Amino acid sequence: MTGSPRRRKRRRRLALGLVLGLATAAGLSAACGEGYDNNDGELAVRQRAKEMCSCVFVQRRDEAYCRSWTKVTPDVAKPEVDYGRKRVTATALAFYRSVASFHEGRGCTIDQ
Amino acid sequence: MRRLVYRLDPRTPIAATMATAIVTGLAPGLAEAAPCPPAIFWPDPTWTERQASGPSVEAMDDYAFTLVGRDDERRGIRTDGVVVVHRGQIIYERYGRGFGPDNPHLTWSVSKSMLDAMFGAAVYQGYLDPLDSVCDHYDAVNECAMTPTDLRAMGSGLDWNEGYEDEPYHLSSVIAMLYGYGALDMAAFVGRHRSEAPPGTLYRYSSGDSVLLAAVVAGSLPPDLRSTYPHDFIFGPIGMQSAIFERDRAGTVVGSSYAYATPRDMARFGYLYLHDGCWAGERLLPEGWVEQSRAVNPVFLVEASFEWSRDGDAVPGSHWWTNHAIPDLGITSVWPDVPADAYAASGHWGQSITVIPSEELVVVRTADDREYRVLDRNRFLSLAIAIAQEAE
Beta bridge partner(s), residue A87:
A82, A101
Of the candidates B313, B353, B387, B316, the one whose C-alpha atom is nearest the C-alpha of residue B105 is B353
pLDDT recorded at residue A7: 55
Query: Higher pLDDT residue, B3 or B360?
Result: B360
**B98 vs A: CB within 8 A:** yes
Arithmetic mean of pLDDT over chain B: 90
Averaged pLDDT for residues A19-46: 64
Check CB contact under 8 Å for B159 and A33.
Answer: yes
Check CB contact under 8 Å for B180 and A50.
Answer: no
- pLDDT over 60 at B165, yes or no: yes
B194 vs A32, A58, A109: nearest CB: A32
Which amino acid makes up residue B46? Answer: T
Three-state secondary structure readout of chain A: CCCCHHHHHHHHHHHHHHHHHHHHHHHHHHCCCCCCCCCHHHHHHHHHHHHHHHHHHHCCCCHHHHHHHCCCCCCCCEEEEECCCCEEEEEECCCEEEEEEEECCCEEEECC
Beta bridge partner(s), residue A91:
A78, A97
d(C-alpha A47, C-alpha A64), whole Å = 17
Averaged pLDDT for residues A48-62: 98
Please report the beta strands in B111-157, taking only residues with DSSP state E, as ranges in sequence order.
Answer: none
Averaged pLDDT for residues B293-307: 88
pLDDT recorded at residue B169: 77
Binning chain B into helix, strand and coil, the percentages to the nearest 5 are 35, 15, 50
Please report the beta strands in B33-140, taking only residues with DSSP state E, as ranges in sequence order.
Answer: 48-49, 79-86, 89-95, 105-106
A58 vs B71, B102, B260: nearest CB: B260
pLDDT in tens, B239-284: 999 999 999 999 999 999 999 999 999 999 999 999 999 999 999 9
d(C-alpha B13, C-alpha B38), whole Å = 37
pLDDT recorded at residue A34: 67
* Beta-carbon contacts below 8 Å between A and B: 106
What is the chain B residue with the closest CA to A50?
A: B179
- pLDDT over 60 at B10, yes or no: no
pLDDT in tens, B19-40: 333 433 443 333 456 789 887 8
Averaged pLDDT for residues A1-25: 45
Of the candidates B221, B222, B208, the one whose C-alpha atom is nearest the C-alpha of residue B254 is B208
pLDDT recorded at residue A8: 53
**Given pLDDT bands bounded at 50, 70 and 90, which one contains residue A21?**
very low
- pLDDT over 70 at A99, yes or no: yes
CB atoms within 10 A of CB B145: 15
Check CB contact under 8 Å for B194 and A33.
Answer: yes
B336-365 residues touching A, CB cutoff 8 A: none
